[in-house]
Homo-oligomer: A and B are copies of this chain.
């Protein structure tokens, strides 16, 4: 919607796999998501802009090939992957489904580019979780290394924390390869954890809302904490809460994509951006939410629970962030005001909160 409003001609490809995955595990976004075709009609009515819809599965080679052949995009923004770490840890079938879906879909995109639009720019959604929590600074994708007196520029080593995060590591390696051998141009956006609900475009019409998840599988930490506070439940960081991650506002996500889009890499360049605006520990987030809730008269207790994940809870974390700021990124930093506006949005939809979907049942150790 943002790009459409900004004058880009936009097409959307969707196979609606996530609808099925949500149904399988029995969760839904806080506010209903209307059919895509309906939202596109509303968008047209409200703004006069067309968005083209292609319905199909990126993992189906011929579908992807045909859309690229027909539409001939100048740029591709690839968000079409299974996005949840806990989902990928729900056992053998879901681990395989996650990696096959993500890797095959992305390979089909790379081949369709090579075939129909070899000079187009692929903006690929990666994740900061690809890196894990190394004891060295997290460079942006590439690392200048000196070893035994010799030098090279290598991919930043990865130690991801779930089969989902691994699927993105696989994608990154596949992307680097096709830049090297086919001269494709790719920006891999290693994004932090996104929070927030509203953008300028979702505010145009209430049926244009984003998919806001608060459940243990598709919900991210800050969103989940806000729903817990709004529903009068304790805020439950996993373990000590010393886990640090990069975070960013949903508005900045869009800003970052546009910055990448209007500053494409060279032909043959595999460019990686770390994409976040601030680093917080999970326990800092929990206190921030509790404090903001208090200001609007809601008392929320912070209750640490056993960590269902296997991850370091106290660790060094220093990701580098230079590329996006140098292109002009202006962060919307996390503020009490933002959290309070999230709480008030959630309260408006509080009849749809299912508290049974929040507590973590997916355990990194347990499912096989």
Contact = CB atoms under 8 A, between A and B. Distances in A.
Interface string A87-98: 000011101100
Given A111-B368, A170-B170, A96 B92 contact: no
A144 B315 CA distance: 18
B154 A114 contact: no
A348 interface: no
A302 to B, nearest CB: 26
Nearest to A320: B148
Nearest to A95: B107
Interface string A126-164: 000000001111010001010110111011111111110
A54 interface: no
Given A92-B107, A107-B99, A182-B365, A173 B158 contact: yes
Contacts of A177: 160-163, 166
Contacts of A176: 159
Contact of A155 (B108, B151, B157, B166): B157
A162 B177 CA distance: 8
A198 B111 CA distance: 40
The contact size tier of chain A is: 35 or more
Contacts of A108: 92, 96
A257 to B, nearest CB: 26
A61 interface: yes
A115 interface: yes
A135 B145 CA distance: 10
B157 A136 contact: no
Contacts of A136: 145, 147-148, 150-152, 154
B99 A104 contact: yes
B134 A152 contact: yes
A276 interface: no
Contacts of A182: 365
A169 interface: yes
A174 interface: yes
A18 interface: no
Contact of A173 (B61, B104, B170): B170
Contacts of A154: 134, 136, 157, 159
A279 interface: no
Contacts of A214: none
B155 A159 contact: yes
Contacts of A296: none
A163 to B, nearest CB: 7
A61 B92 contact: yes
Nearest to A155: B157
A212 interface: no
A44 interface: no
Contacts of A306: none
B173 A150 contact: no
A180 interface: yes
A158 B155 contact: yes
Interface of A: 61, 65, 91-93, 95-96, 99-100, 103-104, 107-108, 111, 114-115, 134-137, 139, 143, 145, 147-148, 150-152, 154-163, 166, 169-170, 173-174, 176-177, 180-182, 310, 316, 364-365, 368
14 contacts: A65-B92, A92-B111, A95-B107, A96-B104, A99-B103, A114-B368, A135-B151, A139-B147, A150-B316, A159-B180, A160-B173, A161-B177, A169-B170, A181-B310
